[in-house]
Amino acid sequence: MAFLADILSRVKPSATIAVTQKARELKATGKDVISLSVGEPDFDTPQNIKDAAIEAINRGETKYTPVSGIVPLREAIVAKFKRENDLEYTAAQTIVGTGGKQILFNAFMATLNPGDEVIIPAPYWVSYPEMVAICGGTSVVVETKMEDSFKLTPEALEAAITPKTKWLMFNSPSNPSGAAYTFDELKAITDVLLRHPHVWVLTDDIYEHLCYGNFKYHSVAQVEPKLHDRTLTMNGVSKAYSMTGWRIGYAAGPLELIKAMDMIQGQQTSGACSIAQWAAVEALNGPQDYIEEARGKFEERRDLVVSMLNQASGLECPKPEGAFYVYPSCKALIGKTAPSGKVIETDEDFVMELLAEEGVAAVHGSAFGLGPNFRVSYATSTETLEVACERIQRFCAACK
């Protein structure tokens, strides 16, 4: 009898974590490596948030917290959703988890039975289908197209829905493509969902505050209030406030679902870190000027990276509306020979050869369910990005 669970045969390790680890290992050997694989802002957590955490420690806020989160944070979440998204919730309809990942996992665990389907537009964050698999569901991947800016069309959504569909997993702005949906694009999606009352929506809004130019962000239940009672809206403090290591995600949704998620979390991790929760209270309730400052820097970096990658031979890089990623196509380089003599047959070959030859770590698009592309994170300094993009240009020019 096998010792490990059968479910592990359906689950793959995180490609983004694997590439980042590979880059760390090469760096440790002395190789000059630039990692563009990690989805983490390079800015420090704002000082007022760190001060709030220190004050919480000094006040003795170091005990177990309620499973769903401390009351001040749940109230801050209610205020945030009302202030920024025009969404009405009570504190009892919110839950705090150890990062957004736990929120998503608990939602799937609380709702999926064997055979239940989750529609996931590709490219997708690498963890979505793996979470669905662990929780016993079936992922229905719907590929998007670069000519549609990597956005799910209402026609494709309609075609993917079956009587077994339980969730649409929806991420805007997107990791990995940076695509963000306009009000009208969201309305076309929600019109489809209104025709299928058995389908719920799980929205991953973690990159909400990282939208550029004149783009105006909207969340799904904000666009279509009739979906309010079958939408779980997930967010967190990691990207907007540079608080990745604090591990605080949160969500709001129907009370019955929140109670089920609370029960699962109570048997899993219990409440999130008390100090991190008090820091998150300050993040949501305190001054918000940091967000605008960080967004301006990210927008400059986006424009730089898009411009430089489009100058690379064989690459085509759309300009995304949000997040801090670009998702260029390397289709024109498939079949060419890398400087090492290896023929580039896949986007994974492309990123592995790029790492070996030029010391630039990116993540292959097939890991996100759609290639031949690769993901570049521009959450690092302008100087580093310039050097990295020059190396990518040099590598592409050397592929014959």
The chain-wide mean pLDDT, for the chain, equals: 96
Residues 33 and 70 in one domain: no
| 210 & 248 share domain | yes
CB 138 within 8 A of CB 166: no
pLDDT on residue 39: 86
Q: What is the pLDDT of residue 17?
A: 78
Tell me the pLDDT band of 22, cut-offs 50, 70 and 90.
confident
- Model confidence pLDDT, tens digit, residues 320-338: 999 999 999 999 999 999 9
Convert the pLDDT of each residue in 185-200 to its tens digit.
999 999 999 999 999 9
Domain stops at, among 285, 312, 345:
285
225 has pLDDT over 80: yes
pLDDT bin (cut points 50, 70, 90) of residue 38 is confident
* 144/105 same-domain check: yes
The per-residue pLDDT for 226 is 98
Tens digit of pLDDT for each residue in 230-279? Answer: 999 999 999 999 999 999 999 999 999 999 999 999 999 999 999 999 99
Phi-psi region of 321 (alpha: psi -120 to 50; beta: other; left: phi over 0): alpha
pLDDT value for 50? 98
Number of Cα atoms under 13 Å in the Cβ half of residue 17: 6
Give the whole-angstrom CA distance, residue 206 versus residue 249.
9
Answer with the one of 285, 302, 317 that is the final residue of a domain.
285
* Whether residue 362 is found in the same domain as residue 304: yes
175 lies in the same domain as 324: no
Q: CATH code at 377? A: 3.90.1150.10
Q: Which residues span the domain enclosing 369? A: 6-44+290-398
pLDDT digits (tens, 9 = 90+) for 365-390: 999 999 999 999 999 999 999 999 99
How many CB atoms are located within 10 Å of the residue 9 CB?
Answer: 9
User: For residue 46, what are the contacts with CB-CB under 8 A and spacing of at least 6?
Assistant: 241, 242, 283, 290
Q: H or E segment at 143? A: strand 138-143
**pLDDT for residue 11:** 86
- For residues 230 and 343, state if they share a domain: no
- pLDDT at position 15, please? 77
Both structure tokens of 1: 């009898």
What's the domain count of the chain?
2
251, 285, 319 - which closes a domain = 285
Q: Is 163 within a domain?
A: yes
- Residue 349: predicted pLDDT: 95
For 104-133, write each residue's pLDDT tens digit: 999 999 999 999 999 999 999 999 999 999
**Cα angle, residue 262 at apex, residues 256 and 268 outer, rounded to 5°:** 145
Indicate whether 28 and 123 sit together in one domain: no
Domain membership flag for residue 241: yes
Q: In terms of domains, do 142 and 273 share one?
A: yes
Percent of residues, the chain, with pLDDT higher than 90: 92
Are 38 and 172 within one domain?
no
Give the CATH number of the domain where residue 133 resides.
Answer: 3.40.640.10
Q: Output the pLDDT for position 14.
A: 80
What's the token pair of residue 126? Answer: 């690498």
107 lies in the same domain as 195: yes
The answer to the question of residue 1 being in a domain is no
